[in-house]
Amino acid sequence: MKGMWFKVFTIFWKDTVAELRTKEIITSVLVFAVLVLVIFSFAFDPEAGTMGLVGPGVLWVSFTFAGVLGLNRIFGVEMENSCLEGLKLCPVERNIIFWGKMASSFTFMLAVEIIITPIFLVLFNLPFFMPRLLLIVMLATAGFASVGTLFSALSMNTKARDILLPILFLPIVVPVIIAGVEATALALEGKSWGDMSVWLQIIVASDIIYFVVATLVFDFVIEE
Amino acid sequence: MNRKVVLRNNILLGLSLALMVAALYMVFIYVPTEKNMGVVQRIFYFHVPIAWVAFLAFFIVFVSSIMYLWKRDMKWDRYAHASAEVGIIFTTLVLITGSIWAKPVWGIWWTWDARLTASLVLWLIYVAYLLLRNYASEQAQGARIAAVLGIIGFIDVPIVALAINIWRTQHPPALIFEGGLGMPGLFTLLVSIAAFTLLFVVLVSYGIILKNQQEEISHLKDVHSEEGG
């Protein structure tokens, strides 16, 4: 067991070090996420009433589209210089590769989201200090990370690559997006955990199911 | 293609035609016009069977995908592919017949209520499934990754339905559909379901035959080019 965690961590650490050196994924995803927020503010009349209503939706659209961009890179970087073959040659089970990559996806997406959320709250004139949002965002990002990493691996081997990932990913994670938006809206209104519970339950249930199924089928996705 | 298969398909086709004619007769002539909604309510007898068949199609995709990943026999991949193609057609018809019914009855072509939204997401998942096959670089890989999506897509359907259902009950729907079929209505519905299910079987059978033949042609091309080259 201890060996397994270490192996997962090694793969995660490889991605993290590469990212810390190039800062390739996080900077572009961050800028894109901010741009999405800004473009959406042009889509709606910036009256106080509208912003409060559309705010949660806009935030999650930003996370989702920026997340897709990041997920493309998760396995996109492995396609150059036969890195994926190198990864497959490692003496580890395929699940370990998946969990390591999923940890990387989760961490990069969460890092972007933690930076974006305060920017969003300021731009949309919403209550600034919102620690409850952190839990909602973490839970939903876990769901994105599991299915997203699987589909990233799946689409990188095909001809369409980047285009295919959002087409596959977005319909599948609809429950997480819906529940994320609703929970965020309730959190911003100051409602209790009890009110949000049904949405949190949906996110957690989706996370568990996605994680289990993705772990089971990942083997088939990257085999030769 | 051997004679038994041809005979079986011709029988199924004849049976399907007969049943469909019977269903059409019952829907348009036999069953009485509904009080509240009038003639347009008859679309219900198409809409419900088509929706049931679409769901059946995707269940078959799910089972065939699992069987393909387990047995690695290409026939399962052909079953999944044929079933998905017909399933998408039927899902599109569900959305269209629903809209045609909705316009005179509700006054709008579309609403974001639970069932419609869930149907639309289902449609999107299986459109992605068909697109995925086109983008694969070679056939075995295409079959494999399509099978993965076939499994995940189907498992996701109940979660999608649940989430959308809860989402829409938070915002109560503007319109409520009141049911109530009499005996003639129920009978007509059952005949219609049988007719469309048999149509589905016929269409998928022909789809599978087509794919078998395509497979054979490409195999023959490979053999021929080896010999010639």
Q: What's the CATH code of the domain at B155? A: 1.20.120
For residue A124, the model assigns a pLDDT of: 83
What is the domain range of residue A98?
A: 2-222
Confirm or reject contact between A213 and chain B (CB < 8 A): yes
Q: Which two tokens stand for residue A31?
A: 């800028």
Alpha carbon distance A185, B135 (integer Å): 38
Averaged pLDDT of chain B: 86
Q: What pLDDT score was predicted for residue A50?
A: 77
Q: What type of residue sits at position B103?
A: K
State the smallest CA–CA distance between residue A23 and chain B in angstroms: 30
Task: State pLDDT tens for residues B56-85.
Answer: 999 999 999 999 999 999 999 999 999 999
CB atoms within 10 A of CB A89: 9
A200 in contact with chain B, both atoms CB, cutoff 8 A: no
**Residues in contact with A220: Cβ distance below 8 Å, sequence separation at least 6, in sequence order:** B69, B144, B145, B147, B148
Q: What is the pLDDT of residue B174?
A: 42
At B176, is the pLDDT very low, low, confident or very high (cuts 50, 70, 90)? Answer: very low
- Min mean pLDDT across A110-114, B35-39, B114-118, B164-168 is at B35-39
CA distance A154 to chain B (A): 7
User: 3-state DSSP helix/strand/coil percent for chain B, to nearest 5?
Assistant: 85, 0, 15
- CA B180 from centre of chain: 26
Q: Can you tell me whether residue B34 is helix, strand or coil?
A: strand
A contact test, residue of B159, B162, B168 with most A CBs within 10 A:
B159
| Range of weakest confidence among A101-110, B180-189, B218-227 | B180-189
Among A147, A179, A220, the residue with its CB nearest the CB of B163 is A179
Of A186, A188, A189, A211, give the one whose Cα is nearest residue A199: A186
Tell me: pLDDT of B177 over 50.
Answer: no
ipTM of the complex: 0.84
Using CB atoms, which residue from B135, B152, B159 is nearest to A164?
Answer: B135
pLDDT(B182) > 80: no
- pLDDT at B179 > cutoff 70: no
Q: What are the structure tokens assigned to A165, written together?
A: 């990932």
Could B131 and A205 be called an inter-chain contact, meaning their C-beta atoms sit closer than 8 Å? no
Low-confidence residues of chain A: pLDDT under 50:
none
What is the three-class DSSP state of B38? strand
Count structural domains, chain B.
Answer: 1
Over residues B146-172, mean pLDDT? 82
8 Å CB contact between A57 and B167? no
The string of pLDDT tens digits covering residues B101-153 is 888 888 888 888 778 888 899 999 999 999 888 888 788 888 999 999 999 99
Q: Which of A179, A217, A223 sits opposite B151 (nearest CB)?
A: A217
State the amino acid at position B140 in one-letter form.
A
Q: Which residues span the domain enclosing B128?
A: 3-228
Tally of domains in chain A: 1
In whole angstroms, what is the distance from residue B15 CA to residue B38 CA? Answer: 31
In 3D, which of A40, A67, A25, A16 has the Cα closest to residue A180?
A67
Q: Quote the DSSP letter at residue A158.
A: S
Count of beta carbons in the 10 Å neighbourhood of residue B199:
22
What pLDDT band is residue B180 in, cutting at 50, 70 and 90?
low
Strand spans (E) along A95-218? none
Kindly write down the DSSP assignment for every residue of B43-59, as one continuous string: GHHHHHHHHHHHHHHHH
At residue B49, what are phi and psi to the nearest 5 degrees?
-60, -40
